[in-house]
Structure 1
């Protein structure tokens, strides 16, 4: 398949696999913004973070640029230790870094009335979004971790709240497209997710969206900094 054909197909398959209603775990980054855009702005975007966090500020900026309403969940007002206990009960082997990003999912699931929550899960693993995959030129380890640990755990987290998580990037046709191109197509100028950036550009999103470099959820939301500050990890792990 030619590269440009793959980009068009990637964009079209994503659009077809986004539900017509529901919530979106929205960080203001490339992956979730593309999903919001391709949904026709029909999803309810929820951003999680402390009031002064990167994700809150970036999500507000993106929502203003694209003109949609944003739901903000301020972690300053959330009892995080309750969510930590839920995660520990669901997965007793959960690690420090996993707690950091799964807290975001747990908070969104507990905050929305929608039964379906759309996430950008899989985009980083498939399209070389992590620094380590960019440096090594291989996404195999991150992909295996996603399949073996993260997805089964997140299914249980969603079930705990009586909800369903939908991850359009993990559609089998999209997985096949991503895997059919080697790392040279995914990494451009030292930055990953080139295919998603091209799909975002071709869908009509502006450069300030598709050219933006996102932080991981636990860092962008401020959760990692907070948990270190209160020394949670010495108690939890």
Structure 2
């Protein structure tokens, strides 16, 4: 995980603005560099480096001897860059996986470059000869990017907080910060004064479409189950590229358990000598802690259990909301445990690369409300909708809570080949079956003995629920904490106080207050509150749904 920050066309001396970039220093604790672009007026790039693949040459802005007119800052991982190098005959100058972006752009342009990237990324690329700036982000928005654009001023940053206060550089004080759309590249031209003008917006990859690049993914066969296993296994294997210790967030649910099992299997096959570390978090009596312990014992990992008290959990809410730049109820609830376990990993271990199971519920219809879908086609539409907004909710959560502590997260369920294949399967086969969500995914691994069978068929337990015991849910703890802190009159007037996404409960009101303290007037950073569809309950907790059942 790294942090990128860039500004173009500032009317204020850029040397007075770079301090804004310090707000994302946590994303790259290993090195820092900031550079004014030579012979271009009012252009500046800053980079915070987390050394994972290339410790020596990964520092940015990146420039190559063979392409000195190109400058780039980039956060992400590109897999199989050596395959691209062989395919096009590129001469690499570094060991950095990001270098391939510069060569691909020079070979075929920015859209061509983005379409040939197997990985996750957010980048800013400057071509000083053409006086063009290009901004791009991966298909699911796994790597974050925010933009501020107005009246010739362009600013880009990994997190919105790094752009706060920069609107004063523009002539229009109403300018605001927006997330850069995933799966897109944008082109800006620079005039002689360094002013930026938007020229073109292109979507280079649609969710569900097969990628255009060459791949080392296994060939498809007639068996759906075999294809699911092979593609998920390949998705995990390619993400093991790292020179730093690897670990897994393990909740004991299906998604994290499968990912962990495949990490352990592939690590052994690749000759990785150390034990893979697993990390589970929760309060005393946590259902996740119990299930994760069972999986860790089965796989023989170096397992860590990170407990937190109710007091520690609620006291973290303010920091979590600042970290997330988000006030959605389920996102905040689920983020607390992930924030605290990431803090433990950073402070107590040397593990840096962390695998997680995000994306599986959206892709594989794992949420319990999918049981109530009117039809297979309706369920398919909902699955794709969730994938399209992941970058504002679960993907945002896992990025921010890990990056806050200098960790790099990897999410194999959002692999291009895996997702495109899974979405191509008949929607009827992807629906819950026999009262069990993600039945197709579970059945694909049924006879593989990768994880205990009762874990393979363990019912869905939301991360925000599993951190707590069966007798006292985490959402109940939060509601008790906020009840005396929000009065009834304020809640009643919430629709007048907050015109965008007005809170409807004391919990959501409390979260919104904490958010507004840090990010006033920016409620549009989330389009709506996450809610279960086709359900009678308004609370997003899975434990409130009629299909919910414990282990």
Distance 1:161 1:140, change over 3 A: same
Which has the larger displacement, 130-139 or 57-66? 57-66
- Distance, in Å, in 2 between the alignment partners of 1:61 and 1:77 is 24
Selected match of 2:453 from 203, 207, 230: 207
Q: Give the structure with the higher percent strand.
A: 2
Distance 1:9 1:158, change over 3 A: same
Matches within 5 A, 1:164-183: 164-183=408-427
Give the number of the structure whose alpha-carbon radius of gyration is greater: 2
User: If the length of structure 1 is used for normalisation, what is the TM-score?
Assistant: 0.87
Shift of 1:47: 0.8
2:264·2:299 contact (CA, 8 Å) conserved in 1? Answer: no
Shift of 1:23: 2.0
Matches within 5 A, 1:32-181: 32-40=256-264, 42-76=275-309, 79-112=312-345, 113=349, 114-136=351-373, 137-138=379-380, 139-181=383-425
2:365·2:438 contact (CA, 8 Å) conserved in 1? Answer: yes
Selected match of 2:480 from 229, 232, 236: 229
- Distance, in Å, in 2 between the alignment partners of 1:194 and 1:66 is 23
- Distance, in Å, in 2 between the alignment partners of 1:34 and 1:67 is 14
Residue deviations 1:51-88 (CA, integer Å, cap 9, x gap): 11211122223334444442111112872345322222
Distance 1:4 1:59, change over 3 A: closer
For 1:48, what is the secondary structure of its paired residue?
strand
For 2:264, what is the secondary structure of its paired residue?
coil
Shift of 1:119: 0.6
For 1:120, what is the secondary structure of its paired residue?
coil
Distance 1:53 1:157, change over 3 A: closer
Shift of 1:225: 3.0
Structure 1, unaligned stretches of length 5 or more?
none
What value does the CA root-mean-square deviation take over the aligned residues?
A: 2.5
Which has the larger displacement, 109-118 or 58-67? 58-67
Structure 2, unaligned stretches of length 5 or more?
1-219, 266-274, 374-378, 469-473, 484-506, 513-551
Which has the larger displacement, 130-139 or 16-25? 16-25
Distance 1:225 1:60, change over 3 A: farther
Distance 1:180 1:147, change over 3 A: farther
Selected match of 1:4 from 220, 225, 234: 225
1:14·1:38 contact (CA, 8 Å) conserved in 2? Answer: no
1:7·1:198 contact (CA, 8 Å) conserved in 2? Answer: no
Distance 1:185 1:110, change over 3 A: same
Counterpart for residue 545 of structure 2: none
- Distance, in Å, in 2 between the alignment partners of 1:218 and 1:131 is 14
2:239·2:412 contact (CA, 8 Å) conserved in 1? Answer: yes
Q: Does 1:198 align with 2:453?
A: no
Counterpart for residue 13 of structure 1: 234
1:18·1:39 contact (CA, 8 Å) conserved in 2? Answer: no
Larger RCO (CA within 8 A; separation ≥ 6): 1
- Distance, in Å, in 1 between the alignment partners of 2:423 and 2:328 is 28
Distance 1:102 1:169, change over 3 A: same
2:366·2:460 contact (CA, 8 Å) conserved in 1? Answer: no
1:31·1:123 contact (CA, 8 Å) conserved in 2? Answer: yes
Q: Which runs of 4+ in 1 moved over 6 A?
A: none
